[in-house]
Amino acid sequence: MIRSLFFAPANRPELAVKFPRFHADCCVIDLEDGTPDAEKAKARAALRDTVAQVRAAGLQSRLAVRVNVPDSPHYLLDLQAAFECDIDAIVIPKLETPAQAFPVQHGIAHAQGSRPIGVIGGIESVRGVLNAQRICEETPNLLAVYFGAEDYAADIGGRRTPGGAEVATARGWVIMAAHVGRIPAIDQAVLDIRNDALYTADANAGRDLGYQGKICVAPAQVALANAAFSPSPEEIEYARRLVAAYEAATARGIGTIDFEGRMVDGPLLKHSQSILAAAQRS
């Protein structure tokens, strides 16, 4: 479960070592957008030491490295450096085809570390969105995908708005592809880092769509994401009552019940069961 995907730039190790303070489900040392071009080589050379510092600081959650885009001259160099580190995942930004992940699969097959390494794919372009189902179904070792709304909007030439109608189709397409591929999907970033209300509203909209987590670009967003993508006490208690009532009814041969004023059948039972399962994981 990745409710919160939290990024820190690779050229700022003093920020990455603070990861344990914020309790994100997955922390990402970012060699891509977070690191300026002039700093990429230096950050890559220091990556192993940065990862070691983060581990020494006591991080318990997943630790990943985001490499540069597959068509970048940095991509293979980033992968080589990342596979020398004690990490849990490689984040591939702007993933557009399963084939672009082949070098990562080669690295995973030959990795000597003690941790199994997975892949998190960024669906952030028009081509990536259109190929999202193939990416989700055909990319080995894929732990999750995330939808990058800002890059998608820039690629298609649209304008970003607070309401997000311009990315709604792509946002929905990515969650459907992830569902078909049976992997979690992580929702888009909110760049207005001082607007907690906007972040929470956008996170709740993502959860309503089926997303299971959200990108975090500021420390304060981690707690908001963890809360938004965890069942509330009220949801858990309602789900417990519904499951108990439904199981009692089916024991009497009844498949559809009137529960607290709502007609309940199999799909609503499944939803309540998923809430209880999520509560156990969180």
Chain centroid to Cα 253, Å, comes to 41
pLDDT in tens, 230-242: 987 777 778 888 8
Which amino acid appears at position 265 of this protein? D
Give the CATH number of domain 4-228; options: 3.20.20.60, 1.20.1600.10, 3.50.50.60, 3.30.930.10: 3.20.20.60
pTM for this model (two decimals): 0.87
Tokens 């993933």, residue located: 95
The domain ranges of the chain are 4-228, 233-281
pLDDT in tens, 125-143: 999 999 999 999 999 999 9
| Structure-model confidence comparison of residues 16 and 275, the more confident one | 16
> How far is it, in rounded angstroms, from Cα 235 to Cα 118?
32
pLDDT in tens, 80-126: 999 999 999 999 999 999 999 999 999 999 887 668 999 999 999 99
User: Does residue 279 have a pLDDT over 90?
Assistant: no
pLDDT in tens, 18-72: 999 999 999 999 999 999 999 999 999 999 999 999 999 999 999 999 999 999 9
**Beta-bridge mates of residue 257:** 264
pLDDT in tens, 183-235: 999 999 999 999 999 999 999 999 999 999 999 999 999 999 999 999 877 77
pLDDT in tens, 221-275: 999 999 999 987 777 778 888 888 878 888 888 778 888 878 777 777 787 887 7
